[in-house]
Amino acid sequence: MAIIDGATRSDSILQAALVIDMEAFSAELEEGTYLFETLSRKMGGGLKTATRMEHKFRERRLIPAVVSVTADAVVAATSIQVSNAGAFHTDQALYCPESDEVFMMNEAIGGTANAGQIAILNKAGSGGLTTAISAGDSIVRLTEAHAEGEAIPAAFATKETELSTYLYQADQTIQVTDIQNAEEHYGQKERNMQRRDAWIDFKRSLNLMLYAGQNTREIVSASGRYRHIMRGLFEWLESNAIDGTELPGGQGLTMRSLGLIVRPTKAFGSSSMVKIGVCGQNAWVGISAFPDQFVQIEPGKDQSWGVTLKRLNTPFGDIQIGYDPMLSDTYGLAGELEVLDPKWIQQLQMSSLPLVMKTNVEDNTDIHNTKDVITGTRGLKVKLPELHRRVYGIQ
């Protein structure tokens, strides 16, 4: 593959006094499409305009109704080590499904007496656990059990979380000389093809950045200029990433395992009814083997996101899916599957700096060269990561 570095001159096009088929356009090998870039421009109500390169936003979450036990607790124990002790408060009744035992909170706020532990009391009002609890078991928070005539318990409430992501600016340049632009046969047609190629190349790179970008603000000179890199989807979902080699059944992606991936993303009232699935090569091979009754294309609706998506009917809800050719062996990303909530993802752009191609950009001091420049700002905002899932390493 030949690449022209710098300006396109008359000698850099196929000119060597040779006979050549002067067709209008040359045959072109184009590397795929950019599915996630297309989808994310339409999700969340469309592109959102930001006013700062560091875009900040807020989220709220309810206090957890269930937490995990992180260490074994023996019979008669009066404290339990849990993953989030602060979720429990005065006189709340607690339930362990694995031991089928109800007991009581015995401190004002979990973790006060011992960090990471909750003090508990047997439901009879004295002593500790009657049945041992193992690490990995669950503790479900029930309501407060109020004693007759007792004062109301101390107040507690949810708190906002502040999150942020950087937008980043990107440029790509094409340059031609005045002679090349005036050449017979290879003038404007060649330039139009180069503009098209540059746009495709840029969007392809942007698609990959939307996946793999890692949130960075780098000082590149002593004068204080900054280079930003956006937070990509992989980084947004790192706390909800699943190793595809550990999918249930050990048989790769099946309808059952896909349903189990979707289930926790639908467990919240903020979830969209239908999820969007962006499939890599291996996931797409697995889905292609699903029984026909589980896969359908809805006439008249399959273009609602600007691309053709298929609908899968999983046991825990429907998911519209598509294959992104960039999630393939070619790019080292064949094992990827992203389950996304379309209501809570948005592409960002800086106010007055949209993504555009500026043509015929001329330098007043250089009359012999003309540039086309692709320039703009982009970022990715993913709210409520619990409503999404990344699966990597699917075989």
H/E element holding 203?
helix 188-212
- What pLDDT does residue 32 have? 54
Is 169 contained in some domain? Answer: yes
Bridge partners, 362 (sequence order): 370
Residue 395 CA to residue 389 CA, distance in Å, equals: 17
Kindly state whether residues 293 and 176 are assigned to the same domain.
yes
Kindly state whether residues 247 and 200 are assigned to the same domain.
yes
Of 304, 391, 307, 385, nearest to 341 by C-alpha is 385
For residue 193, what pLDDT band results from cuts at 50, 70 and 90?
A: confident
Residue 91 CA to residue 99 CA, distance in Å, equals: 20
Kindly state whether residues 181 and 87 are assigned to the same domain.
no
The predicted-structure confidence for 20-57, as pLDDT tens digits, reads as follows: 444 555 555 555 578 999 999 999 999 999 999 999 99
Is 15 contained in some domain? Answer: no
H/E element holding 93?
strand 92-96
Backbone angles phi, psi at 360, to 5 degrees: 55, 45
Residue whose entry in the numeric block shows the structure tokens 């890692």? 214
Across the beta sheet with 275-279, the strand order is: 241-243, 389-392, 337-340, 275-279, 317-323, 310-314, 295-296
Kindly state whether residues 206 and 253 are assigned to the same domain.
yes
Burial bucket for residue 189 (CB in 10 Å: 0-12, 13-18, 19+): middle
Lowest-confidence segment of 29-38, 44-53, 77-86, 311-320 by average pLDDT: 29-38
Kindly state whether residues 76 and 52 are assigned to the same domain.
no
Q: Give the residue from 82, 109, 144 where a domain finishes.
A: 144
Is 138 contained in some domain? Answer: yes
pTM: 0.84
Tell me the CA end-to-end span of the chain in Å, nearest whole number.
31
Is 10 contained in some domain? Answer: no
Kindly state whether residues 79 and 45 are assigned to the same domain.
no
Kindly state whether residues 304 and 364 are assigned to the same domain.
yes
Report the residue count for the chain: 395
- What pLDDT does residue 22 have? 46
Helices (H) and strands (E) in the chain, counts: 6, 22
Residue 6 · residue 175 · CB < 8 Å: yes
Kindly state whether residues 250 and 235 are assigned to the same domain.
yes
Kindly state whether residues 317 and 182 are assigned to the same domain.
yes
Q: Give the residue from 109, 144, 179 where a domain finishes.
A: 144
Is 37 contained in some domain? Answer: yes
Residue 130 CA to residue 123 CA, distance in Å, equals: 10
Return the structure tokens found at 277. 């699935």
Q: How many domains, in total, are found in the chain? A: 2
Residue 198 CA to residue 8 CA, distance in Å, equals: 13
Q: Which domain holds residue 79?
A: 66-144
Is 151 contained in some domain? Answer: no
Kindly state whether residues 267 and 139 are assigned to the same domain.
no
Query: Could you tell me which residue, 279 or 226, shows the higher pLDDT?
Result: 279
- What pLDDT does residue 25 have? 53
Residue 12 has pLDDT above 80, yes or no: no
Percent helix, strand, coil in the chain (nearest 5)? 25, 35, 45
Kindly state whether residues 241 and 270 are assigned to the same domain.
yes
Is 149 contained in some domain? Answer: no
H/E element holding 226?
strand 226-229
Kindly state whether residues 79 and 99 are assigned to the same domain.
yes
- What pLDDT does residue 2 have? 62
The predicted-structure confidence for 130-160, as pLDDT tens digits, reads as follows: 999 999 999 999 999 999 999 999 898 888 9
Of 319, 273, 277, nearest to 296 by C-alpha is 319
Is 382 contained in some domain? Answer: yes
Q: Give the residue from 144, 178, 202 where a domain finishes.
A: 144
Residue 86 · residue 109 · CB < 8 Å: yes
Other beta carbons within 10 Å of 385: 19
Residue 364: CATH number of its domain = 3.90.1690
